[in-house]
Amino acid sequence: MSGSTPSVVVVGGGPAGAAAGVFTARYGLDTTVFDRGSSSLRRAAFIENYLGFPAGIDPETFYDLAHDHAREAGCAVVDDMVTGVFETDGGFRVETQDDRSLDADYVVAATKYDWEYLDSLPADFVEDGEYEQFDASIVEQDGGTPLDGLYVAGPNAGVADQALIAAGHGAQVGRAIIADVRRADGYEGTFAEHYDWLRREENLTGEWATRERWQEYLDNAPDAPDDEELRERYIDDRFAKYVDAEEREERTQKAHRRLADHLDLGEETTD
Ligand SMILES: Cc1cc2nc3c(=O)[nH]c(=O)nc-3n(C[C@H](O)[C@H](O)[C@H](O)COP(=O)(O)OP(=O)(O)OC[C@H]3O[C@@H](n4cnc5c(N)ncnc54)[C@H](O)[C@@H]3O)c2cc1C
């Protein structure tokens, strides 16, 4: 790893890449999303099948929301095009059109129409055939590839070609990277899985509201870490996930304001 905080470069800030970035940045990984160049979703006239938008959404507003979300989660979202990804000792170097050069422990290729920037890597990502196509058969279900640390998200990984599905797969790739990081930290089996959930504080009751119960659970769980620091961190994480009613209300108000910031309601609205 290149530093104490693992770093992730996401190539492409469409639905697949932005979703991957939201997950890795929320876990605390140093995440940069580069977004410039040929986009599938920007070609759409209007998006009517992405969950949560009852009357659909125009691609530009969708992109603004997705990038705002990625930034809020902690990503740097950079308007630049990745031109090359190269292997280094234990990671990757990423180069861009505007002469940026960045080291990364993980790279997520989330660009439906572009894969030339992978050409220098020791794997063949192009399918033989009349038309040049990305070879989805070398990508695992969680986006993993034959190269450790290189993931592919979205339709090039073989998932169906809709924005919502691409975003879901991007999230899956984000989770796979987090599991890699947790395994490198010493967690094994199910303890390497990270659940990006918040829970209601009023449900923090009974025996599971005590650290002693969690210690007992860890004593008996087959994959649980032996290391005391990892065990304490695991329990801290569990308790950090609870949100009280007042904080939920504050978060709700903030979330509504942030959504409204993106809406141009024009002169009149009609039902
Ligand atoms: C005409 C058309 C209409 C469509 N309509 C719908 C629809 O209504 N509903 C639906 O669900 N799906 C629709 N789709 C499909 C949808 O666009 C894709 O399934 C989805 O966008 C795939 O997401 P993605 O993030 O993998 O790729 P993209 O949406 O293509 O996003 C990739 C991003 O990467 C960026 N990029 C590319 N190369 C680089 C690089 N080298 N460096 C940095 N950034 C780079 C691009 O600018 C782009 O923003 C439509 C597609 C088309 C072509």
Render pLDDT for 64-116 as a digit per residue (tens, 0 to 9). Answer: 999 999 999 999 999 999 999 999 998 999 999 999 999 999 999 999 999 99
Q: Mutation test of ligand 1: which of 9, 40, 85 has the most ligand atoms closer than 8 Å to its C-beta?
A: 40
Ligand 1 near 96 CB (within 6 A): no
Residue 3 has pLDDT above 80, yes or no: no
- How far away, in angstroms, is 165 Cα from ligand 1 center? 11
Ligand 1 atom with minimal separation from the 80 CA: 43
Q: Which CATH architecture has domain 7-184?
A: 3-Layer(bba) Sandwich (3.50)
Q: Which residue spans of the chain are classified as CATH 3.50.50.60?
A: 7-184
Q: What is the mean pLDDT of residues 112-128?
A: 93
Q: Is the pLDDT of residue 11 over 60?
A: yes
Instruction: Identify which of 13, 29, 149, 18 has the alpha carbon closest to the alpha carbon of residue 81.
Output: 13
For 53, the 3-state DSSP assignment is coil
Interval between CA 50 and ligand 1 midpoint (Å): 13
What pLDDT does 232 receive?
A: 97
Give distance in angstroms: CA of 192 to centre of ligand 1.
31
73 lines ligand 1 (CB under 6 A): no
Q: What is the pLDDT of residue 2?
A: 43
Tell me how far CA of residue 158 lies from CA of 134, 141, 175, 271, in angstroms.
Answer: 9, 8, 18, 39
| Prediction pTM value | 0.96
Q: Calculate how far, in angstroms, residue 216's C-alpha sits from the geometric centre of ligand 1.
A: 48
Select from 205, 225, 201 the least CA-distant residue to 215: 225
Residue nearest to atom 4 of ligand 1 (CA): 44
